Amino acid sequence: MSEIADLSALPREEREARENFLVNTKGFLSWALTLDHKRIGLMYLVGVMTAFFVAGMLALMIRLELMTPENTYLSNAQYNQVFTLHGAIMVFLFIIPSVPAALGNFLVPVMLGAKDVAFPRLNLSSFYLWICGAIFFLTAMLYTGLDTGWTFYTPYSTSTKGPVVAATMGVFILGFSSIFTGLNFIVTINTMRPPGMEWFKMPLFLWATYATSIIQVLATPVLGITVLLLAAERIMHIGIFDPEYNGDPVTYQHFFWFYSHPAVYIMILPGMGIISELMSVHCHKSIFGYRFIAYSSIAIALFGFLVWGHHMFTSGMADVTTIIFSALTFTVSIPSAIKVFNWLATMYKGTVQLNTVMCYALNFIFLFTIGGLTGLWLGALSTDRPLHDTYFVVAHFHYVMVGGTLVGFLGGVFHWWPKMTGKMFSELWGKVSCLLVFIGFNLTFLPQFVLGSRGMPRRYAQYVPEFQELHVTSSVGAFVLGFGLFVALGVFIHSLMRGKKAPPNPWGGATLEWQCTSPPPYYNFLTPPEVNDPYNYKPLVYRDGERGWEYIHPEAPEVPQAEPEPAKS
């Protein structure tokens, strides 16, 4: 791994084929023990996709159950277990590691022109912690069924018979996986930027990843100690969360949301980073308001630590506290809005390519904006009282988490798919998948806003018959959404089997990852590449489908340069 074999004698094509990180070493162990961030990123990608598939199936089970007002095929207890499993897997195994651990691992060092992340072994151990946490978590929940909801609220979680201790230990382990990823990225971005890449010459995806990493490092340890105390509460009855011993269950909620609200930004910030890249590249226009987008990422990360109380407006806090939390909550909308307006301004007079990637990016902006604006209803005290714990909340966070993070993640996977696999995908079917996701998603969750505002509470298997029409609409939408995601999966599999070979720069991106081959060699770059403005598209020229976009040095003559002679040592 540390040795870079000298293959310079070989022809370029063959050398690229041999140095391709996917095949430069072979065998199961060469993947299982790899320290290459790109392979770890791909393993994460497969892992989170699997988790997403499982949790998605559970979501369909929930929607199927809710087709009728009575229990259809799940008992109330089983329904509790299914939605707990759905939420917990989605949050801890899919959304949190999706963009940072899968795409981030692949992209951060390449975007920096570095050979690897700062701590490759820590990176691999973080992946195995994820696996370990996932196994722990799943067996615990499948064993007797966990029914606490993904939040493990006390006092129910300390009294239920479910395997809370095992599940919380799974969360503890997954937390460390997340911390190690974040720590690695902060150090990598701080110390391994190439010469010439100042902070404000970094691609915005790196800014978003950096902000995310800050949250991961600062918030996740608090979750760690919270679940540890919860486990101690169950094992030894330490009483901190138990009113029987003068403890206070609301303390648990404070501890939990001190992590879990910032964690919401762990989920959405990397998605925003992806969209910043996608918008600029596929509009072929420099990003509008670079500094504002960069600062707003950091602002969201910091504001995110001050607003956890808005999850607890009805838990019995002092009035003054709720007012303060409510006011702070509204401040988060400022940096979020800055981002949305800047993306829109980027499109203005840009060369908008309505390809699959751009469709997903537009999808993100539309859905995320709805998700964000409905958040204001929930952040305001007067409207939160009736809407709390209704389907309005469910719809709101699905618009942000699915419409935002998942759609952004898919857009990112489509965008970097040629770079990761070296294969192009079917544009037509990609767009079809995006359309289906858009229709299915809105059909699923728009009715839930209505349901919630009419008083349908969360987490019930049964409901009054008046709600059935909206619930059936929502369920039909869920199946359309699921079908759309399967189409996207089909596009990826088809691309792997039959996809055309991708050029190094198929979209005309100006960030560094497009300067190495697709897929990159295992060492990424031998020397730090020349750093330019990541959003200056003027020197890029489109050749043809096979060669894609090529970088022309402004002063250089427009002919391919001769290969330099090997240096004599």
Partner 1 sequence: MSEAAAHGDDHGHGDHDHLPFLAHHFDDPEQQYDSGKLGMWLFLVTEILFFSGMFCAYALYRSIHPEVWTFASQYLNATLGAINTGVLLFSSLTMAWGVRCAQLRQRTGLVVCLAMTLGCASMFLGVKAIEYTHKWELGLLPAGSYESQYLHTSIHHGISDWLYVLSAVPALCVVGFTVWYGYCLSKGQKENSEVAGSLLVTALCYFAGVGLGIFLESGGDHGGDHGGAHAAEHSTDHGDGHDDHGHAEDAHEHEGDPGHSEHGDDEKHSVLNPNANVVFVSTEVEETSVFKPGAASEKQVDQRGGAGLFFSIYYCMTGVHAIHILAGMGVLTWLLVRATRDHFNEQYFGPVDYVGLYWHIVDLIWIYLFPLLYLIK
Q: Of the two residues 82 and 202, which places its CB atom closer to partner 1 in the complex?
A: 202
Range list of β-strands (E), 138-177: none
> Is the preceding omega at residue 519 within 30 degrees of 0, hence cis?
yes
Per-position b or e across 310-325, b if 16+ CB within 10 A of its CB: bbbbeeebeeeebeeb
How far apart are CB 242 and partner 1 at their closest, in Å? 7
The tokens for 26 are 């072979």
Residue 13 found at the interface with partner 1 (CB under 8 A): no
Binding mask 209-238 for partner 1 (x = CB under 8 A): --------xxxxxx-xxx-xx--x---xxx
Among 143, 199, 245, 348, binds partner 1 (CB under 8 A): 245
Residue 436 identity (one-letter amino acid): L
Q: What are phi and psi of 261, to 5 degrees?
A: -75, -50
How far apart are CB 225 and partner 1 at their closest, in Å? 4
How far apart are CB 463 and partner 1 at their closest, in Å? 38
Residue 15 found at the interface with partner 1 (CB under 8 A): yes
Binders of partner 1 among residues 504 to 543 (CB under 8 A) are 516-517, 521, 525-527
How far apart are CB 538 and partner 1 at their closest, in Å? 24
Length of the chain: 569
The CA distance from 417 to 427, in Å, is 12
Among 58, 118, 204, 413, binds partner 1 (CB under 8 A): 118
Residue 298 found at the interface with partner 1 (CB under 8 A): no
The tokens for 170 are 């799974």
Q: What are phi and psi of 543, to 5 degrees?
A: -95, -75
How far apart are CB 543 and partner 1 at their closest, in Å? 18
Residue 119 found at the interface with partner 1 (CB under 8 A): yes
How far apart are CB 266 and partner 1 at their closest, in Å? 14
Binding mask 94-113 for partner 1 (x = CB under 8 A): ---------------x----
Please give the full DSSP string across 284-324, using - where no structure is assigned: TSPPTTHHHHHHHHHHHHHHGGG-GGGG-TTS---HHHHHH
The tokens for 133 are 């946490």
Binders of partner 1 among residues 249 to 278 (CB under 8 A) are 251, 255
Q: Of the two residues 247 and 482, which places its CB atom closer to partner 1 in the complex?
A: 247
How far apart are CB 272 and partner 1 at their closest, in Å? 23
Q: How many CB atoms lie within 10 A of CB 243?
A: 12
Residue 242 found at the interface with partner 1 (CB under 8 A): yes
**Greatest CA separation found in the chain?**
82
Residue 77 found at the interface with partner 1 (CB under 8 A): no
C-beta separation of 266 from 216 below 8 A: yes
Q: Sort 268 into a burial class: Cβ within 10 Å, 0-12 / 13-18 / 19+.
A: buried
C-beta separation of 165 from 195 below 8 A: no
Binding mask 166-205 for partner 1 (x = CB under 8 A): -------------x---xx-xxx-xxx-------------
Which residues here bind partner 1, judged by CB under 8 A? 1-4, 6-8, 12, 15-16, 19, 109, 114-120, 122, 179, 183-184, 186-188, 190-192, 217-222, 224-226, 228-229, 232, 236-240, 242, 244-248, 251, 255, 516-517, 521, 525-527, 563-567, 569
